Amino acid sequence: METAQDILDRKGHVVHSITADDTVFEAIRRMDELHVGALLVMEGEKMVGIITERDYARKVILKGRASATTRVAEIMSHRVSHVKTGDTVEHCLALMTERNVRHLPVMDHGRVVGLLSMRDLVAGRRAVNEFILAQLKGAGSEAG
């Protein structure tokens, strides 16, 4: 079974983050620049929240707030679901579905070591399925 660690080993362990005191405009600019849909909100090494494009749409745009003056702390999600490096892809996907989230921080011994998106997990699962299919096709051609 593939784990969160396996996905991070392929995609990289980069953790894109921002602080709670930064503006929402800065957070959205960084997401655009990095081509990501979420940033972890960190105080030093400690994760204190997450800000997503969904937070921006629902808590800034729809409320008529100004992203240039709204602080990340005002709209970030404080309760962040997370997984451990040894958790399976199936567990990660089930947790995302259950909690209605698209991003999961990965923790190892209390430290954030990566961030997985729904896209990362689905792409990883597809790659494994394609590998298995290729192996089965190869085994079938050897038998014939």
| Domains of the chain from N-terminus onward | 4-143 (3.10.580.10)
Pair of tokens at residue 58: 């629902």
Task: Give helix 118-143 / helix 4-11 axis angle, nearest 10°.
Answer: 100
The residue type of 127 is: A
> Pick the residue with more confidence: 95 or 135?
95
Pair of tokens at residue 77: 């999600």
In this prediction, residue 125 carries a pLDDT of: 61
Q: How confident is the model at residue 123 (pLDDT cuts 50, 70, 90)?
A: confident
Which tens digits make up the pLDDT trace of 17-48?
999 999 999 999 999 999 999 999 999 999 99
* pLDDT (average), residues 51-72: 96
Residue 144, pLDDT > 90, answer no
In this prediction, residue 105 carries a pLDDT of: 97
* pLDDT (average), residues 119-131: 67
In this prediction, residue 51 carries a pLDDT of: 98
On average, the pLDDT of the chain sits at 89
Listed residue (86, 74, 84, 83) closest to 49, CA to CA: 74
In this prediction, residue 128 carries a pLDDT of: 56
With b for 16 or more beta-carbon neighbours within 10 A and e for fewer, the 101-114 pattern comes to bbbbbbbeeeebbb
Report pTM: 0.83
